């Protein structure tokens, strides 16, 4: 184990060093920017849609670096930052669910006053003339737009509620279903499925899932029910098994509907992800949309070639921030090149285990 850790450290030391120096430079720049940026009556909007890891990182970096005459507008439908990496555990462990929701208050405490505005609303369309239309009816003009709307997945990875109180109630309902069920099927062995199975077995060792039956090479058809319910799964050879609770941890759908009306050819017909250039600018197969160089996409919703992970989204946020500044200042744009470290993930499936 020690040798493995040493090899990992040696392999990624240049990356860590480069990131550390870059972070130090960013902090110095942000300090200077805080005292030099001035609000102007005609400040143009740099709109960021989506306030998860990629979007919030981009909004913060922009608020620390945009020149006078520009400000950041963050559009996010949820009242609180949803810490989705904790949702699987808090759908199992009772009386802790409130910890998975982090207030947005104070996220720009060190930014210049007036450079940041946050709207709790849902962006539904991009109109001609560089305007974002919101579900509330408001229309927000933009000089630059970055779409970081992520993906939709079934609970517990994503929740349906937008307010903290309702989202906590949603997690408590999931906790109750797990508590009542004896035989549980967790379908999908990705990060969420492994976390769910480990936590259920750790906190409820009497229940039947991980450690009793692991079925590989199967993709059973899920029951056509809404939410977490019991039912029957059919495996290869027409083998059927009955479960008190079936938890689906498979699949995700990119939230690209914002562009469906205005830029349908910027959405992959195969994956439904938003197509982007190496610079993370919107890429449309229709040449008539080529002039929209001021629109970007990043994070899980974008077809970047990188992993669908929070770390990758945060790296992409730095690329988008640099390229927006490059467009403002007439400089060369930077291309995004995925790194292997962006796909790393630490899981803790259970009370004491760490992988």
Q: Which pLDDT score, from 0 to 100, does residue 265 have? A: 92
322 within a domain of the structure (yes/no): yes
Q: Which pLDDT score, from 0 to 100, does residue 212 have? A: 41
Question: Concatenated DSSP letters for 89-120?
Answer: HHTTSTT-GGGGEEE-TTTTTTSPTTSEEEEE
Q: Give the whole-angstrom CA distance, residue 261 versus residue 284.
A: 13
Q: Which pLDDT score, from 0 to 100, does residue 215 have? A: 60
Q: Per residue of the chain (355 residues), give pLDDT as tens.
A: 557 667 766 776 776 677 677 777 777 888 888 989 999 988 999 999 999 999 999 999 999 999 999 999 999 999 999 998 889 999 999 999 999 999 998 889 889 999 999 999 999 999 999 999 999 999 999 999 999 999 998 888 899 999 999 999 999 999 999 999 999 998 888 888 888 988 998 899 888 764 445 565 666 666 655 468 888 888 888 888 899 999 988 878 999 999 999 999 999 999 999 999 999 999 986 655 556 799 999 999 999 999 988 999 999 999 999 999 999 999 999 999 998 777 777 777 777 654 4
- Statement to judge: residues 63 and 149 lie in one domain: yes
- Statement to judge: residues 263 and 129 lie in one domain: yes
161 within a domain of the structure (yes/no): no
Q: Which pLDDT score, from 0 to 100, does residue 52 have? A: 95
- Statement to judge: residues 57 and 71 lie in one domain: yes
- Statement to judge: residues 274 and 141 lie in one domain: yes
Among 226, 248, 270, which residue terminates a domain?
248
56 within a domain of the structure (yes/no): yes
Beta bridge partners of 140: 132
- Statement to judge: residues 108 and 239 lie in one domain: no
353 within a domain of the structure (yes/no): no
- Statement to judge: residues 237 and 264 lie in one domain: no
- Statement to judge: residues 15 and 135 lie in one domain: yes
Q: Which pLDDT score, from 0 to 100, does residue 192 have? A: 87
Specify the DSSP element, H or E, that contains 203: helix 191-203
Reported as a single tens digit per residue, the pLDDT across 242-264 is 999 999 888 789 999 999 999 99
pTM of the model: 0.88
167 within a domain of the structure (yes/no): no
Reported as a single tens digit per residue, the pLDDT across 52-98 is 999 999 999 999 999 999 999 999 999 999 998 889 999 999 999 99
Q: Give the whole-angstrom CA distance, residue 353 versus residue 10.
A: 25
Q: Which pLDDT score, from 0 to 100, does residue 227 have? A: 63
The total domain count for the chain is: 2
Q: Which pLDDT score, from 0 to 100, does residue 355 have? A: 42
Q: Give the whole-angstrom CA distance, residue 182 versus residue 196.
A: 15
281 within a domain of the structure (yes/no): yes
Buried b (16+ CB within 10 A) or exposed e, 96-111: ebeebbeebeebbeeb
- Statement to judge: residues 19 and 69 lie in one domain: yes
Q: What is the CATH number of the domain that holds 78?
A: 3.50.50.60
Look at the alpha carbons of 58, 64, 70, 72 in this order and tell me if their dihedral is positive or negative.
positive
- Statement to judge: residues 334 and 212 lie in one domain: no
- Statement to judge: residues 270 and 143 lie in one domain: yes
Q: What residue numbers bound the domain in which 281 lies?
A: 2-155+253-343
- Statement to judge: residues 130 and 184 lie in one domain: no
Q: Which pLDDT score, from 0 to 100, does residue 176 have? A: 95
- Statement to judge: residues 38 and 125 lie in one domain: yes
């Amino acid at each position: 184990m020690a040798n493995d850790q040493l090899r990992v450290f040696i392999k990624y030391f240049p990356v860590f060093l480069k990131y550390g120096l870059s972070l130090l430079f960013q902090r110095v720049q942000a300090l200077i920017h805080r005292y030099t940026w001035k609000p102007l009556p005609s400040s143009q909007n740099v709109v960021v849609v989506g306030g998860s890891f990629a979007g919030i990182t981009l909004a913060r970096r922009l608020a620390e670096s945009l020149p006078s005459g520009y400000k950041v507008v963050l559009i996010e439908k949820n009242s609180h930052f949803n810490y989705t990496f904790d949702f699987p555990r808090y759908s199992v462990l009772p009386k802790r669910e409130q910890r998975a929701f982090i207030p947005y208050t104070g996220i720009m405490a060190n930014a210049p006053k007036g450079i940041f505005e946050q709207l709790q609303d849902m962006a539904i369309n991009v109109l001609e003339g560089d305007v974002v239309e919101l579900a509330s009816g408001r229309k927000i003009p933009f000089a630059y737009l970055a779409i970081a709307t992520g993906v939709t997945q079934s609970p517990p990875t994503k929740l349906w509620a937008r307010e903290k109180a309702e989202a906590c109630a949603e997690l408590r309902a999931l906790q109750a279903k797990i508590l009542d069920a004896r035989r549980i099927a967790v379908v999908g062995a990705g990060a969420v499925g492994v976390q769910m199975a480990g936590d259920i077995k750790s906190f409820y060792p009497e229940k039947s899932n991980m450690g009793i039956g692991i079925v590989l090479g199967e993709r059973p058809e899920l029951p056509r029910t809404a939410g977490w319910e019991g039912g029957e799964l059919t495996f290869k050879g027409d083998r059927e098994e009955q479960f008190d609770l079936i938890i689906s941890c498979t699949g995700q759908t990119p939230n690209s509907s914002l562009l469906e009306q205005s830029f349908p050819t910027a959405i992959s017909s195969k994956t439904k992800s938003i197509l982007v250039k190496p610079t993370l600018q919107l890429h449309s197969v229709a040449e008539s949309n080529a002039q929209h160089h001021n629109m970007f996409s990043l994070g899980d919703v974008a077809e970047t070639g990188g992993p669908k992970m929070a770390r990758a989204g945060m790296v992409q946020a730095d690329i988008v921030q640099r390229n927006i500044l490059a467009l403002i200042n007439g400089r060369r744009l930077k291309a995004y090149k995925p790194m292997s470290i962006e796909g790393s993930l630490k899981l803790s499936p259970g009370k004491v285990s760490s992988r």
